[in-house]
Amino acid sequence: MEQEKDLITVIVPCYNEQETVELFYHEMKCVMDKMGEQEFELVFVNDGSKDETLSIIKQLCMRDNRVKYISFSRNFGKEAAIYAGLEAAHGDYAVLMDADLQDPPKLLPEMYNAVKNENYDSVATRRVTRKGEPVIRSFFARKFYKIMNHISSTDIVDGARDYRLMNRKFVDALLELKEYNRFSKGLFGWVGFKTKWLEYENINRVAGETKWSFWKLFLYSIEGIVAFSTVPLLIAAVTGVAFCVLALLVMLVIFIKTLCFGDPVSGWPSMVCIILFLGGIQLLCIGILGEYLAKIYMEIKDRPKYLIDESNL
């Protein structure tokens, strides 16, 4: 009896990737040809691209019936695209890949082998260098991972990419997490299971430009912190207690000083500094609180994570 072939779903989020989609397909096709023992399904998720990405994907669909697409009604972000891809995946295995070839498809046979034969549930990739990336960005990225791992119990690996092959169990677990504010790098760690890590040197995009400005990355990092840690709330509370204690001590000092030396009225400038300083701290703490509140607000609205404009699935 012939054994049924495994189906691998490749999920590719695309946002303004007209320069890279075709290149990606060619590279991926070579890998698919090599892995003749497995069947493939390529799911391109067009995340509201404003360029020719969608029409290029449609052309690929006509040439190759393994190519599927989902096209969003607008740009919902990479996290939404990942979720949509995972929801649409029919495969026994699913793999997330960027369209820009920064996630080398040639690693796929090795990844597949690890989940198939070495009893892993997922194979993740991590770049060990960040060469080719702006220095400031690398610096802040490193700091982010350091802080994150201090304040969160979920393991978030420095340099980890979203490039990951998962078995059905892993995919279903991810789909169970229905939160609106998604931070996949944390969710992967949160679901657990056995993960093998592959390491490689950073590769630059083949064409086009990164979709992440420094500001977008900064906001994304806040998303990650709020989604996976409540330590900032604790810091706000602890700061409050610390200042109360400090105030009591200062009161005591003033009390004794007045008793011993009388009370010449002075200290106006220092008073202003203290008021400004404490006002700042208070606003900061309210801001932290607000950040969590905003996330709760978005979650409670329970809006769909994305809207599909068209699809051939």
DSSP per residue, the chain: -PPPPPEEEEEEEESS-TTTHHHHHHHHHHHHHH-TTSEEEEEEEE-S-SSSHHHHHHHHHHH-TTEEEEEESS---HHHHHHHHHHH--SSEEEE--TTSSS-GGGHHHHHHHHHHS--SEEEEEES--TTS-HHHHHHHHHHHHHHHHH-SS---TTEEEEEEEEHHHHHHHHH---SS--HHHHHHHH-S-EEEEEE-----SSS--S--HHHHHHHHHHHHHHH--HHHHHHHHHHHHHHHHHHHHHHHHHHHHHHH------HHHHHHHHHHHHHHHHHHHHHHHHHHHHHHHHHHT--S--EEEE--
Question: Smallest gap, in angstroms, from Cβ of residue 13 to ligand UDP?
Answer: 3
Task: CB nearer to ligand UDP: give 15 or 170.
Answer: 15
Question: Smallest gap, in angstroms, from Cβ of residue 156 to ligand UDP?
Answer: 15
Task: CB nearer to ligand UDP: give 60 or 114.
Answer: 60
Question: Smallest gap, in angstroms, from Cβ of residue 177 to ligand UDP?
Answer: 19
Question: Smallest gap, in angstroms, from Cβ of residue 312 to ligand UDP?
Answer: 18
Pick the stretch among 102-110, 182-190, 213-221, 248-256 that binds Mg ion (CB under 5 A).
102-110
Task: CB nearer to ligand UDP: give 116 or 130.
Answer: 130
For ligand UDP, the binding residue among 211, 220, 222, 231 (CB under 6 A) is 211
| Binding positions for ligand UDP, 98-127, rule CB under 6 A | 98-100, 102
Task: CB nearer to Mg ion: give 47 or 100.
Answer: 100
Pick the stretch among 97-105, 226-234, 243-251, 259-267 that binds ligand UDP (CB under 6 A).
97-105
Q: Give the max Cα distance, the chain.
A: 101
Assess 162 for contact with Mg ion (CB under 5 A).
no
Output phi, psi for 193, to 5 deg: 65, 180
Residue 50 CB neighbours (<10 A): 11
Task: CB nearer to ligand UDP: give 78 or 182.
Answer: 78
Assess 92 for contact with ligand UDP (CB under 6 A).
no
Question: Smallest gap, in angstroms, from Cβ of residue 280 to ligand UDP?
Answer: 34
Task: CB nearer to ligand UDP: give 102 or 154.
Answer: 102
Tell me how many residues contact ligand UDP (CB under 6 A): 17
Distances (CA, A) of 270 to 39, 65, 130, 258, 284: 73, 74, 47, 17, 21
For Mg ion, the binding residue among 17, 79, 92, 100 (CB under 5 A) is 100
**Residue with tokens 């200290």, as numbered in its chain:** 267
**Residue with tokens 């809207």, as numbered in its chain:** 307
Question: Smallest gap, in angstroms, from Cβ of residue 102 to ligand UDP?
Answer: 5
Question: Smallest gap, in angstroms, from Cβ of residue 24 to ligand UDP?
Answer: 8
For ligand UDP, the binding residue among 19, 41, 47, 223 (CB under 6 A) is 47
Assess 181 for contact with ligand UDP (CB under 6 A).
no
**Chain contacts with ligand UDP (rule: CB under 6 A):** 13-15, 17, 47, 75, 77-78, 81, 98-100, 102, 205, 210-212
Binding site for Mg ion (CB under 5 A): 98, 100, 102
